[in-house]
Chains A and B, each alone.
Chain A
């Protein structure tokens, strides 16, 4: 098992290296940051001094190596626009996105998986058909529209929940979290629900498909022949057997929500990283873009590593296979 973890860590390091090169090249290709940094009527001297200051006169590979060297020391550079360290900037926004993404994925899992298992267990019942119809909506209705409808319904018309912003946070380890206070939760509710709908629909369909398949298997037949109740069969047998694809999707969705919650964050003015990246793209704030993408890649790699390790916990056959 330890050997496997080490092997995976080395793999992850290579993924990160490749990612850093891609990101660096991609961002390098999009334009000259000098035009953004200094006013067009600056003198040639100032212009050249600035170019030299940022190392933009160096050849590309040198710039990349310098960037990599700083990266390894945890230095992602300073924002051109705000002139504060990128790491600091991203980390100050990350908790907001982290808790939004995690809440929405958890809502999706805790509601979606039981609903999906039920729909797979009783595929012909009217309730299951209603669940499946709703899941099609969850897939096909655009997030931004649902967000607006949620605001219109629960914030404007019913006045139950706030329409946007993050509201009060509680500081733990120097970062603010909303989910610890009732008021914070009220601010979190609408954006989290908005983001969770797609995941909910996906997890419903996935658990339904898995459950339908497993309910017909000999394992379930044998368990029934042993006199187990259907509830025990669903809880102990089916849930365990369908969990591997569910964990995979859970991880992928969590990662992509972290990285791309932009639309929801914009609609609900949630001060997360999604808004940060959009702002940095419009202002061509290169270090922020690069730093953000590197961090997102890092999060993805970490989540995938955790997901892979979870497989081994869930399926004993994988544990054995890896030891050999």
Chain B
């Protein structure tokens, strides 16, 4: 077996609050190969963003990694100091966020912000840094990159702003980019463009991509593999095509059924009954049991396990494959 780019084993991220410990990420394991695109899907509160922030070491207090291991290119990241993580961030692992209007600094030019990002890793001169910035902007499809360096974020459209953010993430040609719902705030047509471009960019540069989204449809058009999260735990994983065609977990099935594109015209959209319970009192068994139509006593007492397989679900009563 070739050495994976990223190996996450039993990652646990906890938030100590006055009301108790919130296990935002509760024992997640996965592997990511070089150049692979992994979709991380789940509802709000499923722990998908927290997983991303845990990997890059940017958890907001009181969040902390309570256990597990993150091995990136053979190096353990859990337990590293912020100073060591900083050297990695932007250089080897980059991250882009949901709202480009909020991530770019409104009072600095794009050029200033990009030069800062270049110079954060080693003493590149002003001229060389600007050149690098210009090339990176051109690469993400921003016309007239040299002049646009002097523009401020508000002079760009939403889609263009997100391209700028992507260009910043690409500056140092990182091995891994974590994208936290970067197209959610954009128009659908722009979404499609950016998705296609991200896919090409990742393929060209061999960059692995973790694409965090609540939208299975987006992930299906982009990712190689997908992991479905529910309440900080993995419920299903596997190649995108398999998971979409033959979901094994009732939760994944429910997510797919609630996609408008999957519904028959004229029919009401199907919903998953109930709502995500409070992360403070998770049941001992399967986290989805309280909302699951198939749940029995076993589900409520015993957490489901799964073997080492290509496509699997943490479920005692995995759904049969459709005929």
| Interface positions of A (Cβ within 8 A of B) | 216-219, 221-229, 232, 236-237, 240-241, 314-317, 320
Contact = CB atoms under 8 A, between A and B. Distances in A.
B319 interface: no
Interface stretch (B33-41, B67-75, B88-96): B88-96
Contacts of A232: 116, 120
B108 A240 contact: yes
Contacts of A241: 105, 107
Nearest to B82: A230
Contacts of B86: 224, 227-229
Interface in B161-178: 165, 168-169, 171-172
A232 B102 CA distance: 19
Contacts of A315: 106-107
A224 B112 CA distance: 15
Nearest to B165: A222
B107 A316 contact: yes
Contact of A221 (B97, B106, B117, B155): B97
Q: Which secondary structure dominates where chain A touches chain B?
A: helix
Contacts of B155: 320
Contact of A236 (B95, B97, B116, B168): B116
Interface of B: 56, 58, 60, 86-91, 94-99, 102-109, 112, 116-117, 120-121, 152, 154-155, 165, 168-169, 171-172
Nearest to B117: A226
Given A226-B120, A236-B108, A218 B103 contact: yes
A34 B90 CA distance: 78
Contact of B117 (A228, A314, A317, A320): A228
A216 B59 CA distance: 11
A161 B133 CA distance: 55
A315 B91 CA distance: 30
5 contacts: A222-B104, A222-B165, A227-B89, A227-B120, A316-B154
Given A216-B60, A317-B152, A226 B106 contact: no
A222 B103 contact: yes
B58 A219 contact: no
